[in-house]
Structure 1
Amino acid sequence: MPEPGPSPRQSSLPAAAVHFGTHGHGRGIEAFGGGRPALPSAPAPSARPLPSAPALFSAPTLTPLPVPAEVAVPTTVPVPEPTPALRRILRGPSGLGTAGLYPTRGEEASAPSESAPAGHPIPGLLYHPVPEPDPVRVEEVGRRIKAWAVDEVELFPADWEDQFDGFSLGRYMVACHPDAPTVDHVMIATRLMAAENALDDCYCEDHGGSPVGLGGRLLLAHTALDPLHTTPEYQPAWAESLHCDAPRRGYRSAMEYFVREASPSQADRYRHDMARLHLGYLAEAAWAQTDYVPEVWEYLAMRQFNNFRPCPTITDAVGGYELPADLHAQPALQRVIALAGNATTIVNDLYSYTKELAAPGLHLNLPVVIAERENLSARDAYLKAVEVHNDLMRSFEGAAADLAAQLPDPSLLRFLRGVAAWVDGNHYWHQTNTYRYSLPDFW
C-alpha cells in the first residue's frame, strides 16, 4: 500500500471551496466522484528529535514530516455498503485490509469492546470507544512530561506530585494523538496541555486561583505565547517575568518547543485559540464575582471559548503535517472545530460533576446551570446535559462528514480524522481516569 506524501505548505483551494458554506447535509462517499483522490508516494517516516535546549521563539522548522503508514489513505479502496455519512467519511473504508487505517474508531458508537478500559462510561452518552493506547509510548510520554515539569520549569510543588501523576497525561495525549509519528511529537501537545492546566489551577481554580485580578494575570501569561514587542529599556523586565511563576514558566517553555516544530501559521492559530480560552476564563470569573448564574445559552456561549479547542486545533502539527491556512480558515471547518471543542468540554462537565460538587463554593457546569435556570432536579438536569452533549456530537459529526464530502482535500480529510480522534481520546481519558472522576448515582 503506497504511503501518502507530506501535505503541502500552501494550497490553492479547489473550486468546490467556493460553493460550500457552514451548514448542509452530508452527501456520503458518492460526493468524492469515484473515490478518494490518489496521493503521491513518499519515503518511510523517520523520527526527528526535538532540540534539548530550544531558543525562545526561535524560527520554526518548515520541513514537513512524512505521514506514518498506519494512517495512510489508500489510493484505491473498496466502496462500502451505504451507511451514515460520518462512518463512510471519517471512519473511512471498511473493506479488506483497511482496518488498521483508523485505529481510534470502534465499530459502533457507545459499544465498549471486550477489553473495555477501567471506568464506566456515562449511560446514554454518545461516544466512540478506542483501543488502549500503546503502553510503551504512554510510559515514555509520562516519564518525559514529569521530567519536564519537575526539572525544566518547576511546574508544581512537591505536594502536588500525586495529583500530577493522577492526571495521567501520557495516557491522555497518546490516546488523543494516535497518528503522531514519534514520542517527540506527542510531547508537543503534552507540554502545552500540562501548561494550560497549571495556569487554570493556579490562576482560576482551587490551587490558589481567584477571579479577582484574573485579567491582568492572564494577559501577562499570554505574552509567554504571543511575545511582547517593546523598547530595549523595558524588554528585559518582560523577559524576566516569564520565569516568575509556574504558569508563565510552563507556557514559555511549552511554546518554545511548539514553535520549533510548527509553521508560523500553526503557531499563530494556537495563539488565537488560547486567546479565546482566556476570554472564556474571564467571562466565568466575572460571573463568579457577581454571583451570576447564566442562562443555559449564555453558559454554552462561555463554554465555546473556555474549552478544549486549543488541543484538537493543533492535531496536524502533532501529526507532523500542516493543514494549509486557507483551508483552516474556511467557515465550515471553523464550525467543525468549534463543535468538537464544545462537545468535548461538556464531556468534562459531565464526568467532573461530582468532583466539582465536592469543591467549596458554587462551581458552574452545565447540569448545575440547567437545574438552576430550568427548575429541574439535579438528576433531570444532568440527564438533560447528556442530551445536550449528544446533540453537539451529532452536529459535529454531521458537519465534519458534510465538509469532507464537499471538499475532499487529502490534508483536510486527515485533519478531520485527527479532530475526531481527539474527541474520542478525550472521552476515553475522562471515562478511565477514576483517580479524578466518578459518576453520580442517577441510574
Structure 2
Amino acid sequence: MPAPGLSPLQSGLPAAAAGLGAHVLARALSAGVEAAADAPPGTVPDTAPGVVPEAVPAPPVRAGLPSAPVHPFKAPQAAPAAVPAEVPAPELPASEAPVPEVAAAPAAVAPLERILRGPSGLGTAGLSLARREEAPAPSPSAGGGAPAVGSPIPGLYHHPIPEPDPVRVEEVSRRIKAWAEDEVDLYPDDWEDEFDGFVVGRYMVGCHPDAPTVDHLMVATRLMVAENAVDDVYCEDHGGSPVGLGGRLLLAHTALDPLHTTKEYRPAWAESLYADAPRRSYRSAMEYFLRLATPSQADRFRHDMARLHLGYLAEASWAETDHVPEVWEYLSMRQFNNFRPCPTITDTVGGYELPADLHAQPAMQRVIALAGNATTIVNDLYSYTKELASPGLHLNLPVVIARREDLPIKEAYLKAVEVHNELMHEFESEAAALAAACPVPSVSRFLRGVAAWVDGNHHWHQTNTYRYSLPDFW
C-alpha cells in the first residue's frame, strides 16, 4: 500500500470548524461569569512535538499461525508488511476566515466575551468560540455511501452540524478500507456490506472538524474501527461471548500497552499480536497513533482504553449471571463502557496538545466523563430497535429502566431521553464554567473539540439509517 498522502483539498475546514461546539462555551455568557483578568491574550496553543515513543515490533509470522477460535475473522496468509510512514504532522494552519463577531454583551461580562470570541493575534483565528447565528442545515451526503437522511429522536437535546466535508469523507473512506483489507485483514468478504454501512469516514470527519490533515483524521478512524472490531468479535455480534472475555481483552490490551518481559518470551508475545483481527487492528492503529501523539497523550489514551475494557467485563459478568442491574449500576458501567477514548484524543487529532496537568484537573475530567456518558446514551437510544431484534436480552438504558422501575417500554424510553438531556445540559454548563475559570487557549480549544465530537456523534447516529431506526413511540 502506498504511503498515505494529504487530502487534495482542505475545503475551508478550519473556518467551518470555528463555530462548532460554541454552544458549550456560549452558556457562560448567560451565567455572567467573569474570566481571569490576567488571561494572556493572543496565545497560540502548544503544537504536539511529534515525539515517537517505542512502537510495537513487527515480528515474523510463522506459516500456519492459527486464528483464535472465538471469532470468524480469517487469519492472515503472511506477515503484514511494515507499516507505511505517513506524512509528518505539520503545524496547524491559521484560518484565513475572519473571527465571527460576538453580539454586544453587558459591560460586566466583557472579559468573558473576549474568551468566547477567542484569542487575537497571529495563528489564532481558528480558535474562535463564537456561536453561529443559526444552526446549519444538513445538506445531502456526498462520498462514503451514507444517505444524509434520518430524523432525530423527538425531544432529544442536540445541536445540528453541517454535512461533513465530502472531499475528506471520500478520502478517509478510501484509506480506511484499504487499511482494513490490505494491512490488518480485518473482515471476511461477506462482511463487506457491514463495514461499508458503518461509514466510519463520514463519522470521524463529522466528529473532528478541526483536524489539520487527513493523516490526523486517519488516526481517529483506525482507532474507532479497531475498538469496534474488539467489541463485535470479542463481546457481541460476530462470535463474541462473555465466557473467557477477560483473557482475550487482556491480550488485546497489550497491543496498546506493550509487554515488557525477557528476551526469551518477547518474540512469542509479539507474534501473538497478529493472531486475530482485533489484535492486528489494535496493534496497527496504535502504531500510527504513536507517530502523532506525545507520550502523555498516549498514556492518557491507554488509561481510557483500560476503562473501556473494564466496562466490557462488567457487562459480560452480568450476562453470565442473567443479572439486570439497577439503573444507577447500569449508568456506572456505561461510564466505563462508553465513547470516552474517542473525544479524549481530540487534541492529538487536532494537531496540538492539552497539557497533562490541565487534562488531569478534576473539572476537565468531569467534563470529559459527562460528554462520554451523554454520547453513549445516544447510542443506546438510536440502537434500541437494532438491539431489540438481536437474540437474548441486550441491556440498554430503556430496557434497564423498564425492568427496574416497572415502566412500560415507551415510558422507559422517554425517561432515558430525559436522562440524556440532563447529562447534556450538565456537560455544557460544566464546560462553560471551566472555560471561564481557565481561559487558556488550549483548554478552550479542547473543550470546543469535545463539543464538536458530541455533536458529530449524534449526527452520525441520526443519519446512519443503514444501522439504526427509531421505535414507533410517537
CA contact (8 A) 1:56 1:256 kept: no
**Corresponding residue pairs, total:** 401
For 2:42, the equivalent position in structure 1 comes to 38
Q: How far apart are the structure 2 equivalents of 1:89 and 1:204?
A: 47
Specify the SS of the correspondent of 1:70: coil
For 2:350, the equivalent position in structure 1 comes to 319
The question of 1:430 aligning with 2:461 is answered: yes
Change in CA separation of 1:71 and 1:425 when aligned onto 2, cut-off 3 Å: farther
For 2:137, the equivalent position in structure 1 comes to 113
Q: Which residue, out of 70, 73, 79, partners 2:95?
A: 70
Q: Which residue, out of 281, 298, 318, partners 1:267?
A: 298
Q: Which residue, out of 348, 351, 356, partners 2:387?
A: 356
Change in CA separation of 1:237 and 1:41 when aligned onto 2, cut-off 3 Å: closer
Q: Which residue, out of 385, 394, 397, partners 1:366?
A: 397
The question of 1:81 aligning with 2:105 is answered: yes
Matches within 5 A, 1:157-168: 157-168=188-199
Matches within 5 A, 1:242-261: 242-261=273-292
Deviation at 1:209, TM superposition (A): 0.2
CA contact (8 A) 1:105 1:130 kept: no
**Identical residues among aligned pairs (%):** 73
1:303-353 deviations in Å (ceiling 9; x for gaps)? 000000000000000000000000000000000000000000000000000
Q: Which residue, out of 443, 449, 465, partners 1:418?
A: 449
Report the AA paired with residue 251 of structure 1.
Answer: Y
Worse overlay, 25-34 or 376-385: 25-34
Please give the TM-score of this superposition, normalised by the length of structure 1.
0.83
Q: Which residue, out of 438, 441, 444, partners 1:407?
A: 438
Change in CA separation of 1:271 and 1:99 when aligned onto 2, cut-off 3 Å: closer
Q: Which residue, out of 193, 197, 207, partners 2:228?
A: 197
Change in CA separation of 1:197 and 1:104 when aligned onto 2, cut-off 3 Å: farther
1:351-405 deviations in Å (ceiling 9; x for gaps)? 0000000000000000000000000111000000000000000010001000000
For 2:423, the equivalent position in structure 1 comes to 392
1:45-68 deviations in Å (ceiling 9; x for gaps)? 9xx9x9xxx87499x99x974333
CA contact (8 A) 1:106 1:130 kept: no
Q: How far apart are the structure 1 equivalents of 2:466 and 2:338?
A: 22
CA contact (8 A) 1:212 1:289 kept: yes
Deviation at 1:260, TM superposition (A): 1.0
Change in CA separation of 1:276 and 1:32 when aligned onto 2, cut-off 3 Å: same
Deviation at 1:81, TM superposition (A): 3.3
Change in CA separation of 1:307 and 1:104 when aligned onto 2, cut-off 3 Å: farther
Report the AA paired with residue 409 of structure 1.
Answer: V
Matches within 5 A, 1:24-35: 27-28=31-32, 30-33=34-37
The question of 1:138 aligning with 2:169 is answered: yes
| Structure 2 residue ranges without an equivalent (≥5) | 1-13, 15-27, 59-82, 119-123, 141-147
Report the AA paired with residue 346 of structure 2.
Answer: T
Cα RMSD of the aligned pairs, angstroms, is 3.3
Report the AA paired with residue 157 of structure 1.
Answer: P
For 2:373, the equivalent position in structure 1 comes to 342
Matches within 5 A, 1:159-308: 159-308=190-339
Q: How far apart are the structure 2 equivalents of 1:347 and 1:102?
A: 27
Please give the TM-score of this superposition, normalised by the length of structure 2.
0.78
Q: Which residue, out of 187, 191, 198, partners 1:156?
A: 187
Specify the SS of the correspondent of 2:95: helix
| Structure 1 residue ranges without an equivalent (≥5) | 4-23
Change in CA separation of 1:25 and 1:235 when aligned onto 2, cut-off 3 Å: farther
Change in CA separation of 1:369 and 1:70 when aligned onto 2, cut-off 3 Å: farther
Matches within 5 A, 1:323-334: 323-334=354-365
The question of 1:310 aligning with 2:341 is answered: yes
Q: How far apart are the structure 2 equivalents of 1:206 and 1:133?
A: 28
